[in-house]
Structure 1
Amino acid sequence: MTKQHANWSPYDNNGGTCVAIAGADYCVIAADTRMSTGYNILTRDYSKICKLADKSLMASSGFQADVRALQKQLSARHLIYQHQHNKQMSCPAMAQLLSNTLYYKRFFPYYAFNVLGGLDTEGKGCVYTYDAVGSYERVGYSAQGSGATLITPFLDNQLKSPSPLLLPAKDAVTPLTEEEAVDLVKVVFASATERDIYTGDKLEIVILNANGIQCELMDLRKD
């Protein structure tokens, strides 16, 4: 089977793929650990998932320096929020902060493509997907990065997200159990690794629920 060189900018020195799935009382965020530029693999153990708060996690693909700068900016803003309000920021509030931060840089944007996941104030799973300049939407699942074009159609087929135009609006959560969501993530990454040269090595899966945060690693193809 021939692996394809995706339509991914040479400016990108991270690549890779990020996926998030929201459930009734959990959120699963996963990303591969390969960081590459062109046809060169720089490291096989680079985590693309960042903990922003106890109930908020962000996974990012794109230009690694911009991703790190964005993470530092959000961490600093969250620290200021904690000092001012004596509590951590909720996941919906963090989603708005990320949107504002990206939009503020819209004329010289961060080359970072993000998906934010966590638990909202009611304990429900939530996933927010973004473009590079801050436009965002709450969805039941999302994929970002070089493998997103391979993974998103498969997730659409399996999960059939409700239309946002339905009235009354339906919750943007998937009907899967936590174990089914983790299994689905493993399947889509195994598939994307076969076709995308920027996705591979290991899969990092982070599960966020009422009991806290759990992390799991799975080997992917290394070629």
Structure 2
Amino acid sequence: MTKEHANWSPYDNNGGTCVAIAGADYCVIAADTRMSTGYSILTRDYSKICKLADKSFMASSGFQADVKALQKVLSSRHLIYQHQHNKQMSCPAMAQLLSNTLYYKRFFPYYAFNVLGGLDSEGKGCVFTYDAVGSYERVGYSAQGSGATLITPFLDNQLKSPSPLLLPAKDAVTPLSEAEAVDLVKTCFSSATERDIYTGDSVEIIILNANGVRRESEQLRKD
């Protein structure tokens, strides 16, 4: 393992922040559009969100060359699945595929920190959060990347996700309406931009619901 991969940090190699929130009948996935390294901004208009299937989107921060390689592998395996089964993968199935793909490369892992969001077979929002080597969990919300340490405590305070130890188990969905979730995401990024130099310029927001996919964007600080 190289020195770069031995010292894992989401703050290096292009940076960026990703957030996803699952609701009762929607999912919101968002990421900023700044790509930077060190104190240099490489581009201010780079999308960190990838469509894997009609109801599955992945947002990734980290080293973007590894992210592109990961997206290419997932895309090819999804294409094989479609030819074999004559249908697209569900979001939970895509979540398992992503976990397997990351775990397969655990000894020389992709330098990518991912959050997968979409709708499950029942139409409920689902969010899956990952570490670098494929361990994952279905949650109501997640943040990854350089701004995650700033955003996650705020989301915890606002959404109060139920503990997975509760019996009987509760659905991992947030109580917000779709509009409230979108506003919360915009607030998160506006706040993180003030404190994290790797997050900024604008935020790209994908909203999935029964009616399809909608895209929004919001300008952030550019300094």
TM superposition shift of 1:56? 0.2
Aligned residue-pair number: 223
Q: Secondary structure at the match of 1:5?
A: helix
Query: CA contact under 8 A between 1:17 and 1:199: conserved in structure 2?
Result: yes
Change (3 A) 1:212 1:10: closer
Query: CA contact under 8 A between 2:62 and 2:111: conserved in structure 1?
Result: yes
Change (3 A) 1:30 1:138: same
What residue in structure 1 maps to residue 115 of structure 2?
Answer: 115
- Give deviations 1:161-186, integer Å, cap 9, x for gaps: 00000111100000000000000000
TM superposition shift of 1:3? 28
Change (3 A) 1:10 1:130: closer
Q: How far apart are the structure 2 equivalents of 1:4 and 1:193?
A: 26
Query: CA contact under 8 A between 1:193 and 1:221: conserved in structure 2?
Result: yes
Q: How far apart are the structure 2 equivalents of 1:172 and 1:94?
A: 18
Query: CA contact under 8 A between 2:48 and 2:59: conserved in structure 1?
Result: yes
TM superposition shift of 1:195? 0.2
Q: How far apart are the structure 2 equivalents of 1:78 and 1:44?
A: 30
TM superposition shift of 1:201? 0.2
Q: How far apart are the structure 2 equivalents of 1:93 and 1:126?
A: 12
Query: CA contact under 8 A between 1:6 and 1:197: conserved in structure 2?
Result: no
TM superposition shift of 1:206? 0.5
Structure 2: which 5+ residue stretches go unaligned? none
TM superposition shift of 1:9? 4.7
Structure 1: which 5+ residue stretches go unaligned? none
Q: How far apart are the structure 1 equivalents of 2:87 and 2:102?
A: 24
What residue in structure 2 maps to residue 13 of structure 1?
Answer: 13
Query: Between the two proteins, what is the percent identity of the paired residues?
Result: 90
TM superposition shift of 1:13? 2.6
Q: Secondary structure at the match of 1:4?
A: helix
Structure 1 segments (4+ residues) deviating >2 Å: 1-13
Change (3 A) 1:135 1:3: closer
TM superposition shift of 1:14? 1.6
- Give deviations 1:38-94, integer Å, cap 9, x for gaps: 000000000000000000000000001000000000000000000000000000000
